[in-house]
Structure 1
Amino acid sequence: MAKQLNLLSGGQIVSTALHAEMQQSYLEYAMSVIVGRALPDVRDGLKPVHRRILYAMHELGLTPDRPYRKCARVVGDVLGKYHPHGDQAVYDALVRMVQSFSSRYPLLAGHGNFGSIDNDPAAAMRYTETRLAPLGNEGLLTHIGEATVDFTSNFDNSQQEPVVLPAQLPTLLLNGSSGIAVGMATNIPPHNLGEIVDGLVALIDRPDLSDEKLFQLIPGPDFPTGGEIIGLNGIKDAYQTGRGSITVRGVVRVEEIQTGRTRRSMRTALIITEFPFQVSKSSWIEKLAHLVNQGKIDGISDIRDESDREGIRVVIELKREAKPQKVLKQIYRQTPLQTNFGAILLALVDNQPVQLSLRDALQHFLDFRERTLVRQYRHELEKLEARRHLLSGLLQALDRLDAVIDLLRNAPDGTTAKMELQNRCEFSEAQAGAILAMPMRRLTGMERQNLQQEFDELTQRGEVLQRLLGDRHELMKSLKKDLRALKRKFGDKRLTRIVDADGTIQSEAPKERSSKTGEKTSTPISASIPLDLEPQAEDTVIELTHRGYVRRLSTKDAQKANGNAVETPQVLENGEDFTLQQVATRTDRDLLMLTHDGKAYAAKAGEIAKATGRNTRGQPLVSLLPPSAQGDPEAIATQLVLTEEVKRQQFVLLTDRGRIKRLPLSEFENLTARGLTVLKLKGDDRLDYVELTRDDSDAVVATTGGRLLRLPIDDEQLPVLGRTAQGYQAVRLRKTERIAGLSVASESDELVLVTRQGRIKRLPANLLRQGRRGEIGTQALQFANKTDELMGVLRVETGADLVVVTSGDRVVRFSLYRFEVSGKDGTGVRPRVLKSKETVISIALCLPVGGE
């Protein structure tokens, strides 16, 4: 077979390993994408498609002073001559060079529909028209030719195209660039032309300029859509290392707007006048409306878009009780009105991808511009010397006019005359040819004067060029002069304001337009919102109620409430809510919530709604869960504030079917919105009971039959298990029994038992013998009625009261010390405050104020 292949191919067959061939082929493909498509060149800041579009338009003569030409004609020329790819890709690149909201300094001018900031697409190329913008024509295409930049053959060797355009400004930084190559990407933000020119001039004058001085001249990106940059760290990282995350916000102001004819119709509104770069206005409004309808953002009554040709104006009308800064924080957190621009200053340097600092990018451009100027001046000097040489011959011929005419009159033909001029008059071949081609009008006095004037001007210009080429200092002075001239012609004011993280304005942008009503617009509040969107941590008190509500109080309000003594028994009628627990903590602490389906979620204490008065009910605890976990209003099995002391403890988890396990709280560090699985559940089992371990304590498991099993919390009976473990069977249940409760107690503690029919009993924990997993436990309660059953077991804590929720929709609070301690044989006492046919639905402890 090998011989046959050799015969057919007429050459030698070389065996190659598959992995080596794949590596080589993929490397070649990757480099073709990197160099020929995805990354810009550091010299002119353009990708090949943009460079070819501009050069094709230059060849078509579409200068700013010429009429617009159909984009389809431009795209056709680009495809046919230079860029053999899809027409839509070329047109999309052309459109972006026209859009003022995509490019800080558009290189092309357009006529027709080229899209909008609302993400509207551009019209088809057969409808739109384009030509070169003044900056694109003068800044990139002036002096283009083989004398200034290198040219190469196109894809079919039928045309020559420039390898790079003779850019006079660093387009890479002015308009930025974005692209995804193979294994790498670039995302360069746009900048202000005036600031970039100032930085270039400073580097020319002082190549050793410090980074601090350079960053003062170029404080940060300048996006075409304006906005605000919050914080300087991301900018410094990007400028020093070539990679950084820059936080960008829209510009928001607060206005009092009138929605009716009376003064009571005045409403507070957030007015958005600028959006972050590359954020679609219409898509953002749609997302905000969706979040408001879902209840994820509170305090907004209406959203409307009042944008027109004068600029952007999105009005967010607030409810009367809403606070603008609080609403704005929610908007920043949940919408792209605040977004991070991931800056990656990656560009091609000598056809190799290099991650650049700001100084590197500027210096590479200066080096390229210097080389371009040298080639341009050298070419100009060569042309000037050739013309000056011809003029010198013409002037000499005019000085010896009679001799020249006599020579020409006697010459038999032009060739002989040319030879005679060279031999007898000592003219060069080029001069002799010019004399022979000189028209008779050159013999007039005026023409002679014009020739002499042109000769003198060329002589002066030649001296200047010689000085520029011979003295680098003079060359750099000329470069600075050109840069300053371009700044005066095309420079403009900064659009993006830069604000330090503490609110200090580092670089101001122009004032925004006034409101629709003609009133003076108020100061923007967007920059006053802290960068991390988190308020300063402060002391606070969290209250949890028996109906599953949570609210946050100031420390002062909580102290006032605790100063009022409560007489027991206390009865609340008609479903009134009752505070079970107060926890003193800080707003930056986490509230951990475990749900019945075995998952854990966390919410910052500062995210809990702050109560404005003692009568404020608060918010449902379940509302702090992510939307996917909010289906069941009673989804939460337990909750606690993660203080430093609590984090060092462990959980004992018990399910409805009696599976028990121990889990350290260190597993709950850095919880995400997706939550964390704490227990693997099978079938319709659910997590019902969660307790914290204590030193030298046991886990007490109660059944509805009045039995208690006391298990030591050690590595033998309750070993620490992983999060996804199911746990062990804690107690053996009879057919009619269920799990009634879980408590963690030591030998010196007391337990309180409550039955469904309202009998309450205190029992010393040391009366229960320690057992092993799977045992039946100890009978700790005798039932006065055979239909009664145990509802739960709680550990008696100092200062804590017992709270009982009854079937009559009443909440009764008892002092635990009114019930006497009894042995295992007692039936307990039924308080008189309970009505005759009233039963117990649930029990809980009203805990004293606890915290850090």
Structure 2
Amino acid sequence: DKRINGISDIRDESDRKGMRVVIDVKRDGIPNIILNKLYQYTPLQSSFGVNNVCLVNGRPRTLNLQQLIHYFVGFRHDVIVKRTEFELKKAEERAHILQGLIIAVDNIDEVIALIRSSKTVDLAKKGLMERFELSEIQSKAILEMRLSKLTGLEIEKLRAEYDELMKTIARLKEILENRGIRMEMVKEETLEIKAKYGDERRTDIDYSSGNIDITDLIPDESVVITISHLGYMKRTPSVEFRSQNRGGRGSRGSTTRDADFIEYMFTATTHNYLLLFTEKGRCYWIKVYDIPEGSKTGKGRAIQNLLQMPSDDKVMAFIPVLNLKEEEYLDNNYLLFVTALGTIKKTSLRAYSNVRSAGVNAITIREKDKLERVVMTDGNSEVIIGTTKGQAIRFEEGKVRSMGRTATGVRGVTLQSDDDHVVGIISATEENRATGTMLVLSENGYGKRTYIDDPETGDPIYRRTNRGGKGVRTMSVTEKTGKLVALRYVTDNDDVMIITKNGITIRMAVEDISTLGRNTQGVRLIKIGNKDSIAALAIVRDGKAEREEIERLDALEAAQEGMEGAEGEESNEGSPVDNNSGDDSADSSVDTSASDDTKQDNSEGEEKA
């Protein structure tokens, strides 16, 4: 069923010293997760429930642990009472017989004469009972007594046994009269059983209702998720992508097959759920830590191997989700869908909270259309939709009513021509309109930031309209810039990651990107080689703090290397040192200087602003 991935080999290394099974984990596998899945899906660990239904006073009851102990202690107490009563009865019966035998021994001559003078056993028994005031049981015991019991030694044994029985009877009566003694006996006998039969527990008592939460075994780390045009997906720690200056050539990113390129790239954390939406309107779920980890240059794994998705469908949008079980979170968040031909739909996140391995219908797609992007919103924001022709429309989210999971939606934007289509959608709240900007990027590497509202007056730079219009210009699209390919919301604390179809990536600080007017073409953000173009844009939230931490660690590492180098010079006593070892940094060969065209584009954009 492919429930357990990440195992490369299993070896049986058992010998006379004991059992040993070795499981080799693949390079991208997480040992704790694999072990937990082996516990869950194989006989490596077996779990069984306990149904504590017991008969209490003849009636069935379900008992908790405290009640079980209470009734068990009561049962042990009753056992001790009944056992003591039984032992007391036997002791008293034996003492009664011994008492008669001692009377007979003390009067042995008279007893013998009486027995010899009796014609039958019954007459002898009756005579003993009348003469010595004995019971029938005592008389019978005297008649059955062997002559060997009349020796002096045997007589002493009878008296000693009688005395011991009287002590036992007194002790047993004390037990029956004193509850404290009985409860102490329960404790002592339980400890005796433990000492005699107790050994190490071979099973574990699990007080939880289910299996171990795998999420608890995994650190919550920021990762970059990339998906190629041919459907290969991987996650990479975001620290592998170092920040560079605007206008640089970038560094080598993913290694892709011929005719393949990175098409989508976004950030998430390992504890997130990932909702994946396909161009045909299906929704699938996967946990981020279940996505295979790979290096920045790694290819990844085919999505079809991770999801039960048909081969003729293609993933188009992704939403990292914090929690699919918290009621308040589900009720206060919505998903906004926008298709390539401008249809928009709004649906509650709750409609997508029931995880199914085979996926569900997320939106009904019209003929010749496809799903383009999906964003999550609180239900009270404003919506901005951008198109390849450089247009953007802004309207209130409330103009799109919440619909069912399989609804088609309504008109969101009117396209200018047949070759025009939607490239992005932003959910802009009142707070992020004041603190952030809108970033646009063209296919030839030109980009800029633009305020949604004027930061000084608060007047809208992108006027509000009704949904379904053509919108206003957000970027001057020319032959030099190429078509608009991305539209995102950013803040000064974020970083931007750009990747080309040839696999070149660059990461830069948002605050290094110029803020220009709405009707400008922007500045060059990345140099594009021949027959190359932009494939994807991702935003690293709070990338500034991460970048500062990386710089701090780099400085600390450099200082440590400097100290080690100084110690090496002293130990070499003046021996020559090779200072031409080169720079091991992954970005050492990156051209971070802007070209003349870049400077010209920058000034041109500022003049237009």
> How does the TM-score come out when normalised to structure 1?
0.45
- Please state how far the C-alpha of 1:377 moved relative to its aligned partner: 1.7
For structure 1, which runs of at least 5 residues remain unmatched after alignment?
1-289, 502-528, 785-789, 824-831
Counterpart residue type for residue 382 of structure 1 = K
Q: 1:393 to 1:655 in 2, by over 3 A?
A: same
* 1:743-754 paired onto structure 2 within 5 Å: 743-744=424-425
Q: 1:431 to 1:724 in 2, by over 3 A?
A: same
Counterpart Cα distance in 1 of 2:193 and 2:441: 86
Q: Which residue of 1 aligns with 2:121?
A: 414
Counterpart Cα distance in 1 of 2:204 and 2:135: 65
Identify the range of structure 1 (353-362 vs 376-385) with the bigger mean alpha-carbon deviation: 353-362
Counterpart Cα distance in 2 of 1:739 and 1:655: 12
Counterpart Cα distance in 2 of 1:379 and 1:593: 75
* 1:401-550 paired onto structure 2 within 5 Å: 401-495=108-202, 533-538=216-221, 540-542=222-224, 544=226, 547=229, 549-550=233-234
- Please state how far the C-alpha of 1:594 moved relative to its aligned partner: 1.7
2:410 to 708, 716, 728: 728
Q: Which residue of 1 aligns with 2:278?
A: 595
Counterpart Cα distance in 2 of 1:447 and 1:643: 90
Q: 1:390 to 1:567 in 2, by over 3 A?
A: closer
* 1:217-228 paired onto structure 2 within 5 Å: none
Q: Which residue of 1 aligns with 2:84?
A: 377
Q: 1:582 to 1:368 in 2, by over 3 A?
A: closer
Alpha-carbon deviations, 1:526-579, whole Å to 9, x = none? xxx9985433334x3415365454432243x433x43585249x9999657558
Counterpart Cα distance in 1 of 2:143 and 2:185: 39
Q: Which residue of 2 aligns with 1:220?
A: none
Q: 1:448 to 1:811 in 2, by over 3 A?
A: closer
Q: 1:398 to 1:611 in 2, by over 3 A?
A: same
8 Å contact 1:384–1:458 — kept in the other structure? yes
Q: Which residue of 2 aligns with 1:332?
A: 36
The residue matched to 2:125 in structure 1 has which SS?
A: helix
1:566 to 248, 254, 260: 248
1:638 to 310, 314, 317: 317
Q: Which residue of 1 aligns with 2:546?
A: none
8 Å contact 1:804–1:811 — kept in the other structure? yes
Counterpart Cα distance in 2 of 1:709 and 1:440: 125
Q: 1:307 to 1:685 in 2, by over 3 A?
A: farther
- Please state how far the C-alpha of 1:371 moved relative to its aligned partner: 1.8
Identify the range of structure 1 (369-378 vs 770-779) with the bigger mean alpha-carbon deviation: 770-779
8 Å contact 1:701–1:709 — kept in the other structure? yes
1:395 to 83, 95, 102: 102
Comparing both chains, which one has the higher relative contact order based on Cα–Cα distances under 8 Å and sequence gaps of 6 or more? 2
Q: 1:448 to 1:642 in 2, by over 3 A?
A: closer
Alpha-carbon deviations, 1:43-69, whole Å to 9, x = none? xxxxxxxxxxxxxxxxxxxxxxxxxxx
Counterpart residue type for residue 297 of structure 2 = T
When the two structures are aligned, how many residues end up with a matched partner?
Answer: 489
8 Å contact 2:99–2:162 — kept in the other structure? yes
Q: 1:327 to 1:692 in 2, by over 3 A?
A: closer
* 1:224-263 paired onto structure 2 within 5 Å: none
Alpha-carbon deviations, 1:671-729, whole Å to 9, x = none? 56565542135789753444678965454577xxx89896845544x333232322236
Q: Which residue of 1 aligns with 2:537?
A: 846
Q: Which residue of 2 aligns with 1:20?
A: none
8 Å contact 1:549–1:617 — kept in the other structure? no
2:5 aligned with 1:297 = yes
Q: Which residue of 2 aligns with 1:268?
A: none
2:71 to 356, 364, 376: 364
Q: 1:769 to 1:550 in 2, by over 3 A?
A: same
For structure 2, which runs of at least 5 residues remain unmatched after alignment?
324-328, 429-436, 453-459, 507-512, 521-526, 544-609
- Please state how far the C-alpha of 1:588 moved relative to its aligned partner: 3.1
> How does the TM-score come out when normalised to structure 2?
0.60
* 1:61-72 paired onto structure 2 within 5 Å: none
The residue matched to 2:119 in structure 1 has which SS?
A: coil
Counterpart residue type for residue 5 of structure 2 = I
Counterpart Cα distance in 2 of 1:338 and 1:357: 25
Counterpart Cα distance in 2 of 1:485 and 1:796: 74
Q: Which residue of 2 aligns with 1:551?
A: 235
Q: 1:316 to 1:544 in 2, by over 3 A?
A: closer
8 Å contact 2:272–2:322 — kept in the other structure? yes
Q: 1:575 to 1:418 in 2, by over 3 A?
A: same
- Please state how far the C-alpha of 1:662 moved relative to its aligned partner: 2.5
Alpha-carbon deviations, 1:455-496, whole Å to 9, x = none? 333233223323322333444444444334333322334446
Alpha-carbon deviations, 1:299-344, whole Å to 9, x = none? x33213455786543222456x578xx3233221454256776555
% of aligned pairs identical? 25
- Please state how far the C-alpha of 1:412 moved relative to its aligned partner: 3.4
Q: 1:670 to 1:427 in 2, by over 3 A?
A: same
8 Å contact 1:700–1:711 — kept in the other structure? no
Q: Which residue of 1 aligns with 2:57?
A: 350
Q: Which residue of 1 aligns with 2:297?
A: 616
Counterpart Cα distance in 1 of 2:167 and 2:92: 11
Identify the range of structure 1 (331-340 vs 402-411) with the bigger mean alpha-carbon deviation: 331-340
Q: 1:449 to 1:592 in 2, by over 3 A?
A: same
The residue matched to 2:344 in structure 1 has which SS?
A: strand
Q: 1:800 to 1:306 in 2, by over 3 A?
A: closer
1:740 to 405, 421, 432: 421
8 Å contact 2:84–2:176 — kept in the other structure? yes
Q: 1:834 to 1:692 in 2, by over 3 A?
A: farther
- Please state how far the C-alpha of 1:386 moved relative to its aligned partner: 1.8
Counterpart Cα distance in 2 of 1:301 and 1:610: 16
Identify the range of structure 1 (674-683 vs 796-805) with the bigger mean alpha-carbon deviation: 796-805
Counterpart residue type for residue 454 of structure 1 = E
Counterpart Cα distance in 1 of 2:169 and 2:376: 91
Q: 1:670 to 1:534 in 2, by over 3 A?
A: farther
Counterpart Cα distance in 1 of 2:65 and 2:164: 41
Q: Which residue of 2 aligns with 1:242?
A: none
Q: 1:426 to 1:791 in 2, by over 3 A?
A: same
8 Å contact 2:440–2:484 — kept in the other structure? no
The residue matched to 1:679 in structure 2 has which SS?
A: coil
Q: Which residue of 2 aligns with 1:205?
A: none
Q: 1:421 to 1:796 in 2, by over 3 A?
A: closer
The residue matched to 1:542 in structure 2 has which SS?
A: strand
Counterpart Cα distance in 2 of 1:469 and 1:779: 99
- Please state how far the C-alpha of 1:369 moved relative to its aligned partner: 1.8
Greater gyration radius: 2
Counterpart residue type for residue 197 of structure 2 = F
Q: Which residue of 1 aligns with 2:346?
A: 662
The residue matched to 2:195 in structure 1 has which SS?
A: helix
Counterpart Cα distance in 1 of 2:489 and 2:282: 28
The residue matched to 2:311 in structure 1 has which SS?
A: coil
Alpha-carbon deviations, 1:406-450, whole Å to 9, x = none? 223333333333222222332222222222333444444454444
Counterpart residue type for residue 329 of structure 1 = I
Q: Which residue of 2 aligns with 1:314?
A: 21
Q: 1:395 to 1:460 in 2, by over 3 A?
A: same
Q: 1:497 to 1:378 in 2, by over 3 A?
A: closer
8 Å contact 1:551–1:617 — kept in the other structure? no
Aligned-CA RMSD value: 5.8
Q: Which residue of 2 aligns with 1:210?
A: none
* 1:96-115 paired onto structure 2 within 5 Å: none
Q: Which residue of 2 aligns with 1:197?
A: none
The residue matched to 1:627 in structure 2 has which SS?
A: coil
